A and B are shown apart, each in its own frame.
Chain A
Amino acid sequence: MIEISSFSIEDRKGNRLLDDLNLKIEEGETTIICGEPGSGKTLLLKAIKGVVSEGLEKQGEIQTEGKVGLIFQEPRKQMVRSNVMMEVAFDLENRCFSKEKIEEKIEKYSRFLKAEHLLERDIDEISHGELTKTAILSILVTEPDVVLLDEPLSSLDYPNRNKLLKIIERLKEIGTTIVIAEHDIKDLIHVCDRMILLKDGSVLKDGDPLKHKTMLYREGVKIPFSWELKIEAGRGESI
């Protein structure tokens, strides 16, 4: 569970980047945060994880229950080691798990993600899609209760995009709380329970995306072409 109470963030010049957010995300819920560039999507994920950059002033409170894992927009930026196996073991080593326990967890979750073939590879030689998978594996081995994904789809090609969507579905099946920041919800509609639309750091709409298709479109969120067409033809209500 994530509880955000009267939460705001300002930069040094006094620009309000997040503005008095009050949100409760329930355990096991899959939520998409959408909104235009600069609306605060990434910042909100970072705030939930507790990794907001220095120099930004926070007010209010965010409470999270359980372990939280964040997958960055550019997964290479979160890699600290040169080999996939070593990278995936990093957090577990820091938590002082035994060698046997670490191997057991990596084996279990690399099978879950079908990523066994990546373990011996070097970070520098794997593709972008494989990097995303490695980042997810590094988070999964820590058995997080909450997984935060920052625009996970936009830099992936179509086959990798489909693979990631399957992974998200599987995380949902095992009851993980998932929060995804995305401006393209075409492929996420069927997995998400809730949409939070941000504008200028505030919540513009919070609810079922299927009930707010026209608003999502007007705010610039990417939606299925068939919806777009009907909205443009003035038949949005028939979708």
Chain B
Amino acid sequence: MKLYLEDIHFSYEKDGTETIRGVDLSIEEGNIYAFVGRNGSGKTTLLKIIAGLLEPDSGRMKFPESEQEPEIGFSPEDPELGFFERTVGEEVAFYPKNLGLDHEKIGEEMLERIGISHLKNRSPSLLSSGQQRLVSIASVLSGLPEILVLDEPTHSLHRKGEKMVGEVLNKLERTILFSTHSSDFAFEFADEVIVLHDGRVLRSGKPREVFSDIKTLKKAGIRTPGIVEWARKNSIEVPFGLEEAVEMMKEVED
């Protein structure tokens, strides 16, 4: 599902101080977009506007290929805010049930894909924050929305959880937008990186290009991904991923 943002402005303050100060974006169908930037740069606000949870003060969102607004799924930064069912199994089956889909089958599949089948009968509110994150993502995915908006989907996750979420997102073939402080995750799993700074887009582009731009990273307070730092130290081209880096390292060292 394509999506265009045109000159979006938004303010929480009565005095008109803007959190989003004129954002134009063209979101292509099936791509994964990572929004990166400091705390307070506008990532969460912009994602909430896209998810329809906040109304922009001015500007427009357009879906050029659709007559009606598409289904957009949202996973909040604090996953506990989104829970209202008694068990993890019921929580993950909620959206497909409401949509009249085969909720038991879809729910089971999603629990399996996200690796949380063992939590099925547990209460979502009593889980650890990392487990809650996985439940939140599984329940949004189970609604099979056309556009997925995820606020900090890897927050509180360890490396394996982060990788699993990234791999599931990659296989979904949906338009996905997420915010993250993990530049390693954005490098590995995003097709496009959008750098926000003071409520505006400072730069956007392919991960290898954006994350090699030291000036932008410094200005926006973003950490250089480990893989880019390693390539820079060894004066070699930035590899596309860990596997390629392993091969390159063997060449450098042998």
Contacts and interface: CB of A to CB of B under 8 A. Distances in A.
A51 to B, nearest CB: 15
A157 B226 contact: no
A220 B129 contact: no
Chain A interface size range: 35 or more
Given A73-B156, A228-B242, A127 B39 contact: yes
Given A155-B181, A183-B159, A37 B39 contact: no
A183 B39 CA distance: 20
A154 B156 contact: yes
Contacts of B229: 225
Interface string B84-106: 00000000000000000000000
Contacts of A11: 126
Centre residue among A38, A156, A221, A222 by max chain B CB count within 10 A = A38
B31 interface: no
A128 B40 contact: yes
Interface in A32-68: 34-39, 41-43, 53
Interface in A2-51: 11, 15, 34-39, 41-43
B230 A226 contact: yes
Contact of B157 (A35, A37, A161, A223): A37
Contacts, number: 107
A225 B226 contact: yes
Given A37-B134, A74-B78, A232-B246, A225 B227 contact: yes
A157 B155 CA distance: 12
Contacts of A34: 158
Contacts of A128: 39-40
Given A37-B128, A38-B127, A159-B38, A229 B245 contact: yes
B249 interface: yes
A15 B123 CA distance: 12
Contact of A183 (B158, B181, B222, B223): B158
A37 B133 contact: yes
Nearest to B247: A233
Contact of B159 (A73, A129, A156, A221): A221
A124 B81 CA distance: 18
Contacts of A232: 242-243, 246
A38 B249 contact: no
Contacts of A161: 223
B11 interface: no
B145 interface: no
Contacts of A36: 130, 158, 160-161
Contact of B223 (A42, A53, A158, A221): A158
Interface in A179-203: 183-184, 186
A35 B130 CA distance: 11
Contacts of B184: 225
B170 interface: no
Contacts of A226: 226, 230
B230 to A, nearest CB: 6
Nearest to A73: B129
Nearest to A187: B223
B242 A229 contact: yes
B131 interface: yes
A129 B39 CA distance: 7
Contacts of B158: 34-37, 183-184, 219-222
A83 interface: no
A151 interface: yes
B152 interface: yes
Interface string A57-98: 000000000000000011000000000000000000000000
Given A15-B122, A154-B181, A158-B221, 7 more contacts: A36-B161, A128-B40, A129-B39, A159-B221, A183-B159, A226-B226, A233-B249
13 contacts: A15-B122, A36-B130, A37-B157, A74-B78, A157-B37, A158-B38, A183-B130, A223-B159, A225-B227, A225-B230, A226-B226, A228-B242, A232-B243
Interface of A: 11, 15, 34-39, 41-43, 53, 73-74, 127-129, 151, 154-161, 183-184, 186, 217, 219-226, 228-230, 232-233
Interface of B: 37-40, 77-78, 119, 122, 126-131, 133-134, 152, 155-162, 181, 184, 221-223, 225-227, 229-230, 242-243, 245-246, 249-250
